[in-house]
A and B are shown apart, each in its own frame.
Chain A
Amino acid sequence: MKNWKLAAGLLLSVALPGSAMATDLEVTHWWTSGGEAAAVAELAKAFDADGQDHWVDGAIAGGGGTARPIMISRITGGDPMGATQFNHGQQAKELVEAGLMLDLTDVAEANHWKDVIYPPSLLDSCTLDGKIYCAPVNIHSPEWLWLSNKAYEKAGIPVPKDWNEFVASAPALEAAGIIPLALGNQPWQSNLAFGAITVAVGGLDLWKKINVSKDMDAAAGPDMAKVFEAAANARKLAAKSTVQDWNQATNLVITGQAGGQIMGDWAQGEFAVANQVAGKDYTCLPGLGLNEYLSTGGDAFYFPKLKDADKEAAQKRLAALLVSPEVQVAFNLKKGSLPIRGDVNLDAANDCMKKGLKILASGNLVPSGDMVWSADVQKQAEDLMVEFWKTDMAPADAQAKWVEILKTGL
């Protein structure tokens, strides 16, 4: 009798939802830190709001390096999710080429993405053969130096205004028992710090020559050698930093145990969660305060092809929603990233975001590493950089190896 009732109940629960319940769409991403999770919640709230869709959160912990292989093997292995995060650029290129991703061109045209998305390079990196395959959601730039005002107060010196002052201030910090530079052990963080130092110390022309025109002579040249020297100095400042994840390193800055951290603007989400006020508790220097240029990397959502027409309609609704002004504002304020359209009102933004918006509006932008180099080159560079930052590898050796790595991507 009991079993019979249970069976009937189960049968009902299967039969009913078809008409009454919302279309579930599983969305995978690697946003798991406090600030990131708050931002994702905004997306889910907006998607669920229309009553016919339901956001099934598929957060994968461990950062992009852990999450991407899982996402890719699910897509290639025939178990695609409804939507998935990737960084703008080449990460999903082969999946698109293999025909595994949904064409969003009609959504883009209906919502005039071409006119509203700024800078246009974001949409270009979603485009293959004239068709659009991803919806960009934010702009992230890695070239930021985050400084702890508390640490400088404790050391009794003013907060530096650029990278050079920061390096000069390091002995005073060390004397006060503070780690000058916080750096997590993960390879991508070393590579990020190196990239930021390249733009700051080497300048924009050098960066573009190497990464956009792929000029290998410039990569092996004396200007780049200076960048490697600067990075070799910086690694001494980070010698005592033993944390693993980027948000642990940011936490060292928040608590004043470290003077500063080179990290992308997503670090801002952590400061916000810790109730820190930009300009008062912490200071941010885009382009490390030397060259105020930002690279416009960021996140985009891709939609794997599904057989179910209902789900495909839901995918397209989600794509349109992600780019819509309201979601852009709500999401980016929580995330600490910049919106992908210039026509939204971000008065609520804090000092650091406003600095970023100003640079964005002035057009001092470079494409991100993910856009100009393949994942293979990026990974090799990360391996080299993590070794360079954590050992005493000579700058000249590192430069020679680095040029070899870039050549594998030509």
Chain B
Amino acid sequence: MSETKPLRLLRNVNAKLAAIPMVLTALVVFVGGTVWTVFYSFTDSKLLPKMKFVGFAQYDRLWHNSRWLISIENLAILGTLSLVLTISLGFILAVLMDQKIRFEDTFRSIMLFPFALSFIVTGLVWQWILNPDFGIQSVIRSIGWTTFEFNPLNNPSLVLYGLLIAGLWQGTGFVMCLMLAGLRGIDEDIWKAARVDGIPTWKTYIFVVIPMMRPVFITTLVIAAAGVIKLYDLVVAQTSGGPGNASQVPAMYVYDYMFQAQNLGQGFAASTMMLVTVLIVLIPWAYLEFGSKKHG
């Protein structure tokens, strides 16, 4: 045993040497930066980081701030709706694509195009489309329905759905591609067996194909969930958090307090809470993905 140990360390020494820069980057930039941020979230840092500890005071203030509470609520609403809708719409689109249709490549490209646009562009485009003076409302009014009203971005109770539309338009194509890849990974024999047994297609999808696509669903869920938590640019471009604070999201709070309010401590506390949210999403996923293989 004592002889094999150093050998294990020296095995593949070239590969290990080559990995060192990346390992260091990961440790210093990602882990180090995270630890530094969490550490300074317990200080009274204003414009510049300072080592004046205040315990949980920043967190206390954070969870009593109405803008932060609104942001968290918005995150929950947007997160739930966009996850449910992107995944179900993405799956339905993928199933439609999978029916051996003509021009599949063309349709797939069209569906995937919005994903090639940045959130800033998406946000601006939808801001214009939903703008009452030149968007949908004015078009329908010009056709003749003059009392038509569709102005979600200026209505505090509807603004989240305005964001949701833009988010779905942008992200569904990508989810569709992931799902399509999953569907193509299903063995033809399964379909043949189901047909021989006379099971209707929709039943095959729900009871056979979906359970088999579990890894694809989980990966999609994690990608989409992480995307929702870090949502920033779409909101900045489309609504700037307005009207009032009705469409604020946590990432905007972090940025505004770190830089506009010159209160790093408060911004760090908020970003630490975002990290906690990401971990809540990631840990169960990691457990399902990597933990279950060991057990079975």
B67 touches A383 (CB 8 A): yes
A19, CB-defined interface residue at 8 Å: no
Contact A72 B47 (CB under 8 A): yes
Tally inter-chain residue pairs, CB-CB below 8 A. 81
On chain A, the residues within 8 Å of B47 by CB distance are 72, 76, 93-95, 375
Q: Which of B234-267 contact A (CB under 8 A)?
A: 240, 242-246, 255-263, 266
Name the contact of B244 in the complex, choosing from A98, A387, A401 (C-beta under 8 A): A387
Whole-angstrom distance from the CB of A397 to the nearest CB of chain B?
Answer: 10
Smallest CB-CB separation from B244: which chain A residue?
A: A390
Q: Which A residues from 88 to 109 make CB contacts under 8 A with B?
A: 91, 93-95, 98
**With an 8 A cutoff between CB atoms, is B16 at the interface?**
no
Q: Is the CB of A379 within 8 A of B48?
A: no
Q: Decide if B46 is an interface residue (CB 8 Å cutoff).
A: yes
B156 touches A69 (CB 8 A): no
Contact with A along B256-296 (1 / 0, CB 8 A): 11111111001000000000000000000000000000000
Interface residues of A in 120-168 (CB under 8 A from B): none
Interface range, A side: 20 to 34
Interface size grouping (class) on chain B = 20 to 34
- Using A94-B46, A242-B154 as known contacts, say yes or no to A379 and B244 having CB atoms under 8 A apart: no
Q: Which of A98, A186, A375, A388 contacts B262, CB < 8 Å?
A: A375
Q: Which residues of the partner chain B approach A388 to less than 8 Å between Cβ atoms?
A: 244
Chain B residues closer than 8 Å to A72, beta-carbon distance: 47, 259, 262
**Is A350 interfacial (CB-CB < 8 Å)?**
no
In angstroms, Cα B242 to Cα A368, docked, is: 26
Q: Contact at B245–A374, with CB atoms within 8 Å?
A: no
What is the bound-complex CA distance between A320 and B46, given in angstroms? 31
- Does B80 count as interface, using CB distance less than 8 angstroms? no
Interface presence of B146 (CB below 8 A): no
B25 CB within 8 Å of chain A: no
Chain A's nearest CB lies how many Å from the CB of B136? 15
| A319→B267 CA distance, assembly (Å) | 34
A244 in the interface, Cβ–Cβ < 8 Å?
A: yes
> Do the beta carbons of B260 and A379 come within 8 Å of each other?
yes
Q: List 23 A-B contacts (CB under 8 A).
A: A65-B256, A94-B47, A98-B48, A185-B240, A242-B151, A244-B240, A374-B46, A375-B47, A375-B263, A376-B262, A379-B257, A379-B260, A380-B65, A383-B66, A383-B67, A384-B66, A386-B242, A386-B244, A387-B67, A388-B244, A390-B244, A390-B245, A408-B61
Point out residues on B near A: beta carbons under 8 Å.
46-48, 61, 65-67, 70, 132, 151, 154, 156, 240, 242-246, 255-263, 266
For the complex of A and B, the 4 pairs showing the least CB-CB separation, nearest first, are A390-B244, A69-B259, A379-B261, A94-B47
Q: Beyond A379-B260, A380-B65, A391-B244, list 10 extra A-B contacts (CB 8 Å).
A: A69-B255, A72-B262, A76-B47, A244-B242, A376-B257, A376-B261, A376-B266, A387-B66, A389-B244, A390-B242
